[in-house]
Amino acid sequence: VENVRLVDRVSPKKAALGTLYLTATHVIFVENTPDTRKETWILHSQISTIEKQATTATGCPLLIRCKNFQIIQLIIPQERDCHDVYISLIRLARPVKYEELYCFSFNPMLDKEEREQGWLLIDLSEEYKRMGLPNNYWQLSDVNRDYRVCDSYPTELYVPKSATAHIIVGSSKFRSRRRFPALSYYYKGNHASICRSSQPLSGFSARCLEDEQMLQAIRKANPGSDFIYVVDTRPKLNAMANRAAGKGYENEDNYSNIKFQFIGIENIHVMRNSLQKMLEVCELKSPSMSDFLWGLENSGWLRHIKAIMDAGIFIAKAVSEEGASVLVHCSDGWDRTAQVCSVASLLLDPHYRTLRGFMVLIEKDWISFGHKFNHSMLLIISLDSLIYIFKFHAAAHMYFCKRTYSLWAHLWKNRADYLNPLFRADHSQTQGSLHLPTTPCNFMYKFWSGMYNRFEKGMQPRQSVTDYLMAVKEETQQLEEELEALEEVRHSCYVVCFLCLF
Amino acid sequence: QLECALSTLDSITLMYPFFYRPMFEVVEDGWHAFLPEQEFELCSSATSEWRLSYVNKEFAVCPSYPPIVIVPKSIDDEALRKVAMFRHGGRFPVLSYYHKKNGMVIMRSGQPLTGTNGRRCKEDEKLINATLRAGKRGYIIDTRSLNVAQQARAKGGGFEQEAHYPQWRRIHKSIERYHILQESLIKLVEACNEQAHNMDRWLSKLEASNWLTHIKEILTTACLAAQCIDREGASILIHGTEGIDSTLQVTSLAQIILEPRSRTIRGFEALIEREWLQAGHPFQQRCAQSAYCNSKQKWEAPVFLLFLDCVWQILRQFPCSFEFNERFLTMLFEHAYASQFGTFLGNNESERCKLKLQQKTMSLWSWVNRPSELSKLTNPLFEANNLVIWPSVAPQSLQLWEGIFLRWNRTSKYLDEAYEEMVNIIEYNKELQAKVNILRRQLAELETEDGMQESP
């Protein structure tokens, strides 16, 4: 469609004139400027909502909101064209079959070997080995081969040595969606571990011997502590309400040697609302400081971030300082559980703070343990809480089918763009766990404009400290090489000089 | 009560700077580092439209102005005396900044005393018109809302009416009065010290303090002033009521935006000297107690702190454009409230002369400008540029200055370590560069020596 205008979000009076293209996989806007012909590409699956606004004198406005918070406002001259584009985008943004997803047709011209290499980059069995497993206390179990026990769990996972197949199967029958307690992270230093599951089907009074034995097995797998924590990441009221539906939480009286703890994090619907409200604040035109702060508070977003952080810190401390294992669950064990386990792992283990380690963490805690990315904005929440720990650029969507190209390979190849120039493997901050303060520190949670206003270039700091430091480091590397070369030359010069004297 | 009595001595001469004896060698006397004649050179080298006037050398014409001011060449001292009687506190319009790029200027003053009768002063009109080029218009930026400016007439004040100043367009950009700013600070500090666990309460308390709103207002007005100068190519006159608070915030921030020199250490020190100390901001009254004053200190207000906070916001957005780092700003904040140096004592030059500060106390600049101090306050990321830098005033771009307000509530250990690492990266790079240069030179010399015919 020709003569389309792309409105500048920061200065609405400015609009670039160009042509809009719709392909099978992308929406592309190409500016008419003769020399640059700047292009804006949007993947169909990036599109979250499309809104057709009231026709004005200048044309028909179309507002595209993307999952990465980018907002594209187009003005299409003819109403008929606008409608066509609108209908097409609605259809294209919601693929009916997996095969329609872009990742299946994306062809960056790698050969089969390179493609497979990308997928092998993340090898979870290597990761468990790095943790020190298997060992005297934990073993690899194939009880879930072919997904016969739980269809949303990985086929290979780690369980306590004393957990027989009988116990595991019995426990799985007592857990929502059969998601029995399994290992998320093993802390070599003191044998404590983080395990995860879904809620027990305990109702008001139901018991299950195998499930109780499962928790005992977890406790026994840690000789350093005579109890385990069971952390329910739901608000107490919600957990209690679940009892009426035949689910619920662990009763300390029935399970020997557990200390039960609620750490209330709101559920996905509340969080989705919260994110929605916050994005509305971001979309405000020329808000006052009060509008912004009030809107931010009203959304409750930072409150959620803090709740997740508090939970992660509690678990990390339980493991590293008390040496006690923790079993974490929410309702289904794939939302809040994943967030909280990831945060705790990041605090405990410096390996997850490296680029590769972080990719492994996502693969382990989110992908292999079955997070539903189609409905995902929870990864966003985790990432938001991670920004507090250290700055990191991460992609926001994942593909998990082996017929596509691995995102990890792409990230890894371009890793220079994602590195933190201040990282030093030998620094005290990279040894062992990070100690975050637990004293009230509400002021530390700040709005992540780099994520939520990423595309509003005017709002970001204009000069990037990171870019500057990366450039300095690159130059340093070149200087080191040159220094080495020069020193060799000088050395040879002296040798020749010496020989000439004779 | 005892503490209060000790910390706000009525007699300034009993204050610490009068007893302090420096334990360091004074290389450069800070009292004479930024003389008005030298500062004037920067303008007079580019244009001959301005002159130095000594009409106020006894402080008789304007008690809060310095002895030497810069005025249009065509206006004589007699006219200045008349204009002084038409402006609040005798603060007649003077030059604040000359923009070399296009010759436009920033002037500042107190409000015109038009009163309810619509009094006018031909000399005042002539003075500010003298700054305009033929056929060009100027802008008057009044830091009061139109309402407030109109109400000022009842008390003898007012604003420049279009009929008398046809070549000037007036813009009202309200910045809160100083006592409101003090309430803001008190609420903010309370919010920061509160031990509540609740995130929502923190955000609503932060919002209720309005501190960030003031930052936004001040920065917006400074950007407007800078835009008039640089984008519109028009001269401006800035004033509020007295011209000693918001006026100075705007003129100094506009210079940070417009002029790279103000972002160097010496340039910034000169800016403080000109636009705050000599311009007569009443430091003694404004910076007596900070946020914890018990007695009703009715002139207390964090005007200077707000200015430093605005500078920090710009520094955060342009981390490579300032020669100084955050610690430099923090240091200035502290010394404005309590110091062993005499720089921030007194309310204006007249008082400073009476107290004989130059003879009896040491200047802050004497201490700061020593290389050993400067090295801690220099920004390792600084790369000199010639840009006009435009800060974003969107709420998402403005942050609470943790280095001041949360300094004692949280450990800065990890941030300090990150800063150290950054300094190391940059210094190591410089060392390598130096080594490589030496080697290159050596090799060049070796190659030109006799007997060195072949390269190895």
How many pairs of residues across A and B have Cβ atoms under 8 Å apart?
159
Task: Chain A: give the shortest CA distance to residue B248, in Å.
Answer: 23
Does B432 contact A at CB distance below 8 Å? yes
Residue A3 annotated as part of some ligand binding site: no
Residue A439 has pLDDT above 60, yes or no: no
**Burial, B112: exposed, middle or buried (Cβ in 10 Å; 0-12, 13-18, 19+)?**
buried
**pLDDT, tens digit, for every residue of A143-198?**
999 889 998 898 889 999 999 999 999 999 999 999 999 999 999 989 999 999 99
Q: How far is A354 from chain B (nearest CA, A)?
A: 16
Check the annotation: does A208 bind a ligand. Answer: no
Q: What is the pLDDT of residue A212?
A: 96
Residue of chain A with shortest Cα separation from B414: A429
Q: Collapse the DSSP code of A325 into the 3-class scheme (helix H, G, I; strand E, B; otherwise coil) and give the result.
A: strand
pLDDT at residue B396, rounded to an integer: 87
| Chain B residue with Cα closest to A307 | B199
A394 has a pLDDT exceeding 50: no
Please state which CATH number belongs to domain A132-348. 3.90.190
Segments making up each domain of chain A, as ranges: 4-94, 132-348
At B27-82, the pLDDT tens digits run: 888 999 999 999 999 888 889 999 999 999 999 999 999 999 999 999 999 999 99
Residues 346-385 of B with CB under 8 A from A: 381
Q: What's the pTM?
A: 0.82
B439: contact with A, CB 8 A cutoff: yes
Query: Percentage of chain B with pLDDT > 70?
Result: 93
3-state helix, strand, coil in chain B (%, to 5): 50, 10, 40
Q: For chain A, first and last CA: distance in Å?
A: 82
How far is the C-alpha of B341 from the C-alpha of B369, rounded, in Å?
Answer: 13
Q: Measure B260 CA to nearest chain A CA, in Å.
A: 15
pLDDT tens per residue across span B188-198: 988 888 766 66
Contacts of A446 in chain B (CB under 8 A): 399
For the beta carbon of residue B130, count every other beta carbon within 10 angstroms: 16
Instruction: Check CB contact under 8 Å for A490 and B436.
Output: no
Chain A partners within 8 Å of B436 (Cβ): 479, 482-483, 486
Residues of B in contact with A422 (CB under 8 A): 418, 421-422, 425
**Cβ within 8 Å, pair B400-A443:** yes
Q: What is the pLDDT of residues A448-464, one digit of tens each?
A: 666 667 666 667 667 78
- Segments of B222-351 assigned E as strands: 236-239
For B199, nearest residue in chain A (alpha carbons) = A442
The pLDDT score that the predictor gives to residue A445 is 64
Residue B424 has pLDDT above 60, yes or no: yes
B418: chain A residues, CB-CB within 8 Å = 422
What is the pLDDT, as a whole number, of residue B112?
A: 97
User: How many Å lie between the alpha carbon of A221 and the closest alpha carbon of chain B?
Assistant: 35
The token duo for B372 is 């050993």
Cβ–Cβ below 8 Å for B199 and A492: no
Provide long-range contacts, Cβ within 8 A and 24+ apart, for B352-359.
Answer: B353/B59, B355/B12, B355/B13, B357/B17, B357/B31, B358/B31
Taking the C-alpha atoms of residue A159 and residue A463, their distance in angstroms, rounded to an integer, is: 49
Closest Cα of chain A to B406: distance in Å?
8
CA distance A315 to A322: 10
Higher pLDDT, A108 or B104: B104
Of B321, B418, B425, the CB nearest to A473: B425
Question: Which residues of B, range 12-41, sit inside 8 Å of A by Cβ?
Answer: none
Q: Residue A330 annotated as binding?
A: yes
Using an 8 Å CB-CB cutoff, list chain B residues near A424.
421
Residues of chain B contacting A293 with CB distance shorter than 8 Å = 203-204, 206-207, 212, 395
pLDDT for res B407? 81
A357 is in an annotated binding site: no
| CB neighbour list of residue A179: distance below 8 Å, 6 or more residues apart | A150, A152, A153, A172, A197, A198, A332, A333, A334
Note whether B415 contacts A: Cβ–Cβ < 8 A.
no
Q: What is the mean pLDDT of chain B?
A: 90
User: In this predicted model, which residue has the larger pLDDT, B14 or A450?
Assistant: B14
Tens-digit pLDDT profile for residues A233-277: 999 999 999 999 999 999 999 998 999 999 989 988 888 888 889
Model pLDDT, residue A118 = 55
pLDDT at position A244, please? 92
B387 in contact with A, Cβ within 8 Å: no
pLDDT above 70 as % of chain A:
76
**Interval A29-35 mean pLDDT:** 86
Query: Matching CATH topology for A4-94 and A132-348?
Result: no
Angstrom distance (rounded) from CA A226 to CA A323: 10
Q: In the prediction, which pLDDT does B195 show?
A: 62
- Contact flag A462-B200 (C-beta cutoff 8 Å): no
Q: Which two tokens stand for residue A307?
A: 């709740």
Name the residue facing B439 among A444, A475, A483 (closest C-beta): A483
The separation between CA A24 and the C-alpha centre of its own chain, rounded to angstroms, equals 28
Average pLDDT over all residues of chain A? 81
pLDDT at A404: 40
Give the right CATH number for A4-94 from 2.30.29.30, 3.20.20.70, 1.10.3720.10, 3.40.50.80.
Answer: 2.30.29.30
Q: In this structure, are residues B53 and B71 in contact, taking their beta carbons and an 8 Å threshold?
A: yes
pLDDT at residue number A276 = 87
Residue B18 has pLDDT above 60, yes or no: yes
**Most confidently modeled of A204-218, A338-352, A463-477?**
A204-218
Contact B199 A287 (CB under 8 A): no
Domain boundaries, chain B: 12-410, 412-455
Residues of B in contact with A437 (CB under 8 A): 410-411
Contact A306 B199 (CB under 8 A): yes
Residue A282 designated active-site: no
A489 vs B212: CB contact, 8 Å cut-off?
A: no
Which positions in chain B touch A468 (Cβ < 8 Å)? 319-320, 381
Kindly list the residues from chain B whose CB atom is less than 8 angstroms away from the CB atom of residue A443: 192, 202, 206, 400, 402, 406, 409
User: In 10 A of CB A298, how many CB atoms?
Assistant: 16
Cβ A299 vs Cβ A274: under 8 Å: yes
Nearest CA to CA, how far is B208 from chain A (Å)? 8
Task: Pick the catalytic residue from A195, A330, A341, A500.
Answer: A330
Contact A294 B196 (CB under 8 A): no
* Pairwise pLDDT comparison (A416 vs A471), residue with the higher score: A471
Query: Is the pLDDT at A413 greater than 70, yes or no?
Result: no
Alpha-helical runs (H) found in B131-241: 146-151, 178-193, 199-209, 211-227
* Separation CA B103–CA A49 (nearest Å): 51
Q: Please give the DSSP secondary-structure letter assigned to residue B158.
A: -
Q: What is the pLDDT of residue A334?
A: 82
Asked if the C-beta of B441 comes within 8 angstroms of chain A's C-beta atoms, the answer is no
Q: What are the tens digits of pLDDT across the range A37-89?
A: 888 888 887 788 899 988 888 899 999 988 777 888 999 999 999 999 999 99
Q: Do A441 and B410 touch (CB under 8 A)?
A: yes
Tell whether A448 is in a known binding site. no
Contacts of A464 (CB under 8 A, 6+ apart): none
The complex scores an ipTM of 0.81
CB pair distance less than 8 Å for A442 and B196: yes
Residues in chain A, total: 502
